[in-house]
């Protein structure tokens, strides 16, 4: 059996160091990112030790007897080093489950990390979920991803949008104007779905300040008018579009088509994976067909974001 300890803030440096050398770690698991919304989620992250050495991390929060990995993140899951084997990971889950029973957790929701984020193959957790935990697939979301060495051609409607944007003098550049982008995003979500962005403007500004190299904003402009943009999360394997939005004027003149032509064919041409993010809502059954049509029009093809659940 391995030893399981609940994360405490005095272990932040050790935690972040392990994230950096794990097979699956991204900046979303660093404490400076995870802790920005600690007022909304009761952290119950776990540190797994084997023979007094840190073996694995499980970013997590707990609510009403349920452990989530992680409710406030796009993906979660067990972080392990290159040396971890299937037997090791199965042992880790047995130990984690024993600990969780002791502290009164009755159910686990596990948001598995899509394989595109793995720097080495790392799906031992999926095997352990089924064969140790008896987990069942709870939700499956669909994302759209491009691979650097096998890009598909843009469909004609996307190419037509690029031509229209160029005729109207639209230019694409990196920007620090998060407020302009957030206002476009907020207005768009409120008008179409009666919703608000997951992150407030203040939260995005805080995260951008903490991770200036990993969080980047690219915007399309016509003169001084902001037409739309995308907020990018850069990780070792994947460039992920955290948000995409355009104003009515931006949609009319093909601003996003030109924006993604610039990003895909210049800025991130050599990046292993470019992930447009999920186009499904709720438990994944609600597919936003217009949104995924746009992403597939740039050559994106399906990668699943899966959630598993099991009882203890």
* pLDDT per residue as tens digits for the range 244-270: 999 999 999 999 999 999 999 999 999
Please give the C-alpha separations between residue 83 and each of 120, 200, 228, 302, in angstroms, as whole numbers: 11, 39, 44, 30
Homologous superfamily (CATH) for 146-304: Gcn5-related N-acetyltransferase (GNAT) (3.40.630.30)
Identical fold between 3-134 and 146-304:
yes
> Per-10-residue mean pLDDT for the chain, 312 residues long?
95 98 97 92 97 96 96 94 97 98 98 97 98 97 95 96 97 97 90 78 96 98 96 96 95 97 96 96 89 96 97 98
Task: Domain ranges for the chain, please list them.
Answer: 3-134, 146-304
Give 121-167 pLDDT, tens digit per residue: 999 999 999 999 999 999 999 999 999 989 999 999 999 999 999 99
Predicted local distance difference test score (pLDDT) of residue 281: 86
Question: What six digits make up the tokens of 247?
Answer: 């104003």
Task: Provide CATH code, domain 3-134.
Answer: 3.40.630.30
The residues with which 239 forms a beta bridge, in sequence order, are: 234, 274
3-state secondary structure of 201: helix
Nearest to 147 by CA among 26, 245, 276, 261: 276
Predicted local distance difference test score (pLDDT) of residue 283: 84
Q: What is the rounded distance in angstroms from the CA atom of residue 23 to the CA atom of residue 25? A: 6
Predicted local distance difference test score (pLDDT) of residue 23: 97
Predicted local distance difference test score (pLDDT) of residue 169: 97
């Amino acid at each position: 059996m391995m030893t399981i300890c609940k994360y405490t803030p005095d272990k932040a440096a050790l935690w972040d160091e392990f994230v950096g050398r794990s097979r699956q770690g991204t900046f979303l698991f660093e404490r400076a990112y995870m802790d920005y919304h600690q007022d909304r989620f009761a952290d119950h992250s776990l540190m797994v030790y084997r023979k007094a050495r840190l073996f694995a991390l499980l970013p997590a929060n707990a609510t009403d007897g349920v452990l989530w990995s992680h409710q406030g993140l796009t993906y979660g899951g067990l972080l392990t080093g290159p040396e971890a084997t299937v037997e090791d990971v199965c042992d880790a889950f047995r130990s984690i489950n024993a600990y969780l029973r002791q502290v009164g957790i009755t159910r686990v929701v596990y948001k598995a990390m899509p394989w595109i984020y793995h720097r080495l193959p790392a799906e031992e957790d999926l095997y352990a979920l089924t064969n140790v935990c008896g987990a069942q697939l709870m939700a499956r979301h669909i994302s759209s991803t491009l691979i650097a060495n096998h890009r598909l051609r843009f469909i004609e409607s996307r190419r037509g949008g690029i031509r229209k944007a160029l005729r109207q003098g639209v230019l694409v550049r990196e920007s620090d104007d998060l407020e302009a982008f957030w206002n476009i995003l907020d207005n768009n979500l409120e008008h179409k779905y009666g919703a608000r962005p997951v992150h407030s403007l203040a939260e995005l500004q805080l995260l951008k300040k903490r991770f200036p190299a990993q969080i980047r904003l690219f915007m399309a402009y016509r003169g001084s008018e902001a037409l739309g943009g995308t907020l990018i999360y850069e990780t070792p394997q994947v460039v992920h579009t955290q948000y995409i939005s355009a104003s009515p004027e931006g949609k009319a003149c093909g601003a996003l088509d030109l924006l993604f032509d610039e990003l895909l064919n210049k800025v991130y041409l050599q990046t292993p994976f470019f992930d447009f993010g999920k186009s499904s809502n709720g438990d994944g059954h609600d597919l936003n067909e217009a949104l995924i049509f746009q992403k597939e029009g740039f050559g994106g093809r399906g990668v699943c974001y899966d959630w598993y659940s099991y009882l203890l």
